[in-house]
Amino acid sequence: MNTTWNLDKLYKGFDTEGFQTDVTKFEATIDELKHFNFQGYTQKEKQLETYLRESIELMMLASKLFHYASLIQATDSTNLPALKYLNRFQMKMTDLTVVESKFKKWLKDYPNIDQDFAKNDFLKEHEFVLRETIRDAAHLFDDKTETLIAKLKQTGSTAWERLQALLTSTLEVDLEGKEVTLSEVRNMAYSEDPEVRRKAFEAEIAAYKKIEKPIAYAINGIKGEVNTLLEERGYASVLDFTLEQNRLRRDTLMVMLETMEEYLPVFRNYLKRKAALLGHSNGLPFYDLFAPMGKSQKKFTIPEANEYILKNFGTFSPRLHEMASRAFTDGWIDYLPKKGKVGGAFCANLLPIKESRVLANFDGAFGDVITLSHELGHAYHGEAIFGESPLNADYSMPVAETASTFCETIVNKAAFKDATSDDERIFLLESSLQDSTQVIVDILSRYYFESALMEGRKQTLFDETELKTMMLDAQKRAYGDGLDPEKLHPYMWICKSHYYSGNLSFYNFPYAFGLLFAKGLYAKYLIDKNHFVPLYDKLLASTGKSMAEDTAKIADIDITQKAFWQGSLELLKEDIDLFMRLTEK
Beta strands in 511-572 (DSSP E): none
Beta strands in 58-199 (DSSP E): 172-175, 178-181
What pLDDT score does 169 carry? 86
User: Minimum mean pLDDT among 61-65, 89-93, 236-240: which range?
Assistant: 89-93
**Phi and psi, residue 176, nearest 5°:** 50, 45
Residues 387 and 541 sit within 8 Å (Cβ to Cβ): yes
Q: Helix axis angle, 509-527 relative to 443-456, nearest 10°?
A: 140
Task: For residue range 285-299, list pLDDT tens digits in order.
Answer: 999 999 999 987 789
Residues of 41-70 as b/e, b for ≥16 C-beta within 10 angstroms? eeebbebbeebbeebeebbebbbbbbbbbe
Residues 566 and 259 sit within 8 Å (Cβ to Cβ): yes
By residue count, the chain amounts to 585
Q: Helix axis angle, 529-542 relative to 509-527, nearest 10°?
A: 150
Residues 422 and 490 sit within 8 Å (Cβ to Cβ): no
**Residue 347 host element (H or E):** strand 346-350
Percent of the chain with pLDDT over 70: 100
Q: Is the pLDDT of residue 339 over 90?
A: no
What is this structure's pTM? 0.92
Average pLDDT over all residues of the chain = 95
Question: Residue 462, Cα to own-chain centre: how many angstroms?
Answer: 28
What pLDDT score does 324 carry? 98
What pLDDT score does 151 carry? 87
Number of other CB atoms surrounding residue 477 within 10 Å: 14
What pLDDT score does 376 carry? 98
Q: Is the pLDDT of residue 35 over 80?
A: yes
The predicted model gives 302-328 an average pLDDT of 98
Phi-psi category of 556—alpha, beta or left, where left has phi over 0 and alpha has psi -120 to 50? left
Q: Is the pLDDT of residue 335 over 90?
A: yes
What pLDDT score does 463 carry? 98
Task: For residue range 23-33, list pLDDT tens digits in order.
Answer: 999 999 999 99
Q: How confident is the model at residue 338 (pLDDT cuts 50, 70, 90)?
A: confident
Task: For residue range 217-265, list pLDDT tens digits in order.
Answer: 999 999 999 999 999 999 999 999 999 999 999 999 999 999 999 999 9
What pLDDT score does 204 carry? 97
Q: How confident is the model at residue 78 (pLDDT cuts 50, 70, 90)?
A: confident
Task: For residue range 40-60, list pLDDT tens digits in order.
Answer: 999 999 999 999 999 999 999
Q: Is the pLDDT of residue 203 over 80?
A: yes
Task: For residue range 172-183, list pLDDT tens digits in order.
Answer: 999 999 999 998
* Residue 181, strand partner residues: 172
- Distance from C-alpha of 285 to C-alpha of 479, rounded to nearest angstrom: 11
